[in-house]
Chain A
Amino acid sequence: MNFQSKANKYVCPNDRQLSLRSKLRTGWSAARSEPPLTQNEREAIAAVVKRAEKVDEVEARRVGRLVSRLEGMRRSASGPAPRSCLLCGETSKLLAPLRTCSMCQNTACPKCVIDTPPHRSPIYSRDQYMCNLCAETREMWKKSGAWFFKSLPKYILPDRRATGRYNDTELAKSLQDAGNSSNEGKTDSEPGSPLSIHPPIFSRQPSNTDSRKSISSAKDHDWTETDILSHGVSGLSLHRTDSLNQRPLGLKRTGSKGSAYSLRSIRKEVPKPITQVERPPTIPDSGFGTLEIKLAYDNGTSSLAVTVLRARGLIGMDMTGLSDPFCRLEVIPREGTYSNRLRTKTVHKTKNPEFNETVHFFGITESDLSTKSLEILVFDDDKYGCDEMGSATVALRECLKSPAQLRLALSGASGTEPTGPRLLLALCYSTKRRALVVTMCRAAELPAQDSNGYSDPFVKLHLDPDPYHKKHKTSIKWRNLNPVWNEEFLFETRPTELSRQNLTVTVWDKDYGKPNDFLGSLVLGASSKGRRLKHWMDCIKFPDHRHEQWHSLTDTQHL
Chain B
Amino acid sequence: MAKTYDYLFKLLLIGDSGVGKTSILFRFSEDAFNISFISTIGIDFKIRTIDLDGKKVKLQIWDTAGQERFRTITTAYYRGSMGIMLVYDVTNEKSFENIKNWIRNIEENASADVEKMILGNKCDLDAKRQVSKEQGEKLAIEYQIKFVETSAKDSLNVEYAFYTLARDIKAKMEKKQEASNPPGNRSGVHTLNDTDRKRQPTSWLARCSVL
B76, A239: Cβ atoms closer than 8 Å = yes
How many A-B pairs with Cβ below 8 Å? 107
A-B contact pairs, 5 of them (CB 8 A): A23-B104, A35-B69, A433-B184, A487-B188, A489-B190
Q: Is the CB of B196 within 8 A of A434?
A: yes
Contact flags B71-97 to A (C-beta < 8 A → 1, else 0): 111011000001000000000000000
In chain B, residues 167-207, which have Cβ atoms closer than 8 Å to a Cβ of chain A?
173-174, 176-177, 180-184, 186, 188-192, 196, 201
Contact A20 B104 (CB under 8 A): yes
| Partner-binding segment picked from B11-19, B23-31, B37-45, B135-143 | B37-45
B-contact 0/1 string along A1-20, CB 8 Å cutoff: 11011000000000000001
Closest to B184 in A: A432
B73-A45 in contact (CB<8A): yes
Stretch of A141-149, A174-182, A320-328, A375-383 that contacts chain B: A141-149
A20 touches B45 (CB 8 A): no
Contact of A48 with B45 in the complex, beta carbons under 8 Å:
yes
Within 8 A of B (CB), among A29-53: 34-35, 37, 40-41, 44-45, 48, 51-52
User: Using Cβ atoms and an 8 Å threshold, which residues of chain A touch B105?
Assistant: 1
- B192 close to A147 (CB less than 8 A): no
Let me know if B60 is at the binding interface, CB within 8 A: yes
Q: How far is the CB of A241 from chain B (nearest CB, A)?
A: 9
Inter-subunit contact B190/A103 (CB<8 Å): no
The distance from the CB of A379 to the nearest CB of chain B, in whole angstroms, is: 26
Mark the stretch among B1-9, B122-130, B146-154 that contacts chain A: B1-9
Taken together as a complex, chains A and B put the C-alpha atoms of A233 and B29 apart, in Å, by 38
Q: Which residue of A lies closest to B80 (CB)?
A: A149
**Which of the residues B7, B42, B47, B173 comes within 8 Å of A55, measured between beta carbons?**
B47
CB-CB under 8 A from A141, the residues of chain B are 177
A44 touches B42 (CB 8 A): yes
Bitwise interface map of A from 412 to 450 toward B, beta carbon under 8 Å scored 1, else 0: 000000000000000010101111010000000000000
The majority secondary structure among interface residues of chain B is mixed
> Which residues of the partner chain B approach A102 to less than 8 Å between Cβ atoms?
181-182
Given known A-B contacts A35-B69, A433-B192, A148 and B173 have beta carbons under 8 A apart: yes
Q: How far is the CB of B209 from chain A (nearest CB, A)?
A: 20
A488 neighbours in B (Cβ, 8 Å) = 186, 188-190
Task: Decide: B104 and A103 in contact? CB cutoff 8 A.
Answer: no
Residue with the greatest number of chain B CB neighbours at <10 A, chosen from A1, A4, A24, A34: A1
B171 CB to closest chain A CB (Å) equals 12
Specify the chain A residue showing the minimal Cβ separation from B47.
A55
Task: Name the interface size band of chain A.
Answer: 35 or more
Determine if B101 is an interface residue (Cβ-Cβ < 8 Å).
yes
Question: Which residues on the B side are within 8 Å of A5 (C-beta)?
Answer: 72, 75
**Complex interface: chain B residues within 8 A of A435 (CB):** 192
Specify which chain A residues have a CB less than 8 angstroms from the CB of B101 in the assembled complex. 1, 24
Give 8 nearest A-B pairs by CB, closest first: A488-B188, A45-B42, A432-B184, A44-B41, A2-B71, A34-B69, A487-B189, A2-B72
Residue in B41, B72, B181 whose beta carbon sits within 8 Å of that of A103 in the complex: B181
The answer to whether residues A41 and B42 also contact, given A55-B60, A143-B7 and a CB cut-off of 8 A, is: yes
Query: Quick check: A82 and B201 within 8 Å, CB to CB?
Result: yes
Would A45 and B43 count as touching, CB distance under 8 A?
A: yes
B111 on the interface (CB 8 Å rule)? yes
Q: How many residues of B contact A (CB 8 A)?
A: 44
Cα A145 to Cα B105 with chains together (Å): 23
What sequence of 0s and 1s flags, for each residue 105-118 of chain B, a beta carbon within 8 Å of any chain A beta carbon? 10010010100000
Min distance, Cβ B102 to any Cβ of chain A, angstroms? 10
A492 engages B42 (CB within 8 Å): no
User: 14 new A-B pairs (CB below 8 Å) besides A1-B105, A148-B111, A432-B184?
Assistant: A2-B75, A5-B75, A37-B69, A48-B45, A55-B45, A59-B8, A103-B183, A141-B177, A142-B173, A147-B173, A437-B188, A488-B186, A490-B190, A492-B192
Query: Min CB distance, B154 to chain A, in Å?
Result: 28
B134 at the interface (CB under 8 A from A): no
Q: Which residues of A contact B44 (CB under 8 A)?
A: 48
Interface check B53, CB cutoff 8 A: no
Q: Is the CB of A138 within 8 A of B181?
A: yes
Is there contact, CB below 8 Å, between A432 and B183?
yes
Cβ-defined contact, B68 with A34, below 8 A? yes
Closest-by-CB residue of B relative to A472 is B190
Evaluate contact between A62 and B4: CB separation under 8 angstroms. Answer: yes
CA distance A1 to B76 in the complex (A): 12
Task: Provide the residues of chain A in CB contact with B68, threshold 8 Å.
Answer: 34
Contact in complex: B42, A48 (CB < 8 Å):
yes
Q: Distance in Å from the Cβ of B69 to the closest Cβ of chain A?
A: 5
Distance of A68 from chain B, by nearest CB (Å) = 13
Asked whether any CB of chain B lies closer than 8 Å to the CB of A535, the reply is no
Contact A433 B196 (CB under 8 A): yes
Is A545 part of the contact surface with B, judged by Cβ < 8 Å?
Answer: yes
Q: How far is the CA of A488 from the CA of B42 in the complex (A)?
A: 41
Separation in Å of the A279 CB from the closest CB of chain B?
Answer: 37
Task: Determine the distance from Cα of A138 to Cα of B180 in the docked complex, in whole angstroms.
Answer: 10
What residues of B have a CB within 8 angstroms of the CB of A472 in the complex? 190
* Chain B nearest CB, measured from A9 CB (Å): 12
| A510 close to B (CB within 8 Å) | no
Residues in B neighbouring A61, C-beta threshold 8 A: 1
**Contacts of B45 on A, CB cut-off 8 Å?**
48, 51-52, 55
Task: Please state if B7 and A142 are interface contacts (CB–CB under 8 Å).
Answer: yes
* Distance in Å: Cβ of B10 to nearest Cβ of chain A: 8
A165 within 8 A of B: no
Our pick among A37, A48, A487 for the contact of B43 (Cβ within 8 Å) is A48
Interface residues of A in 474-493 (CB under 8 A from B): 487-490, 492
Are the CB atoms of B201 and A545 closer together than 8 Å? no
Known A-B contacts A45-B43, A48-B43, A138-B181; the reply to A238 vs B73 at CB < 8 A is: yes
Shortest Cβ distance from residue A479 to the other chain B in the assembled complex, whole angstroms:
22
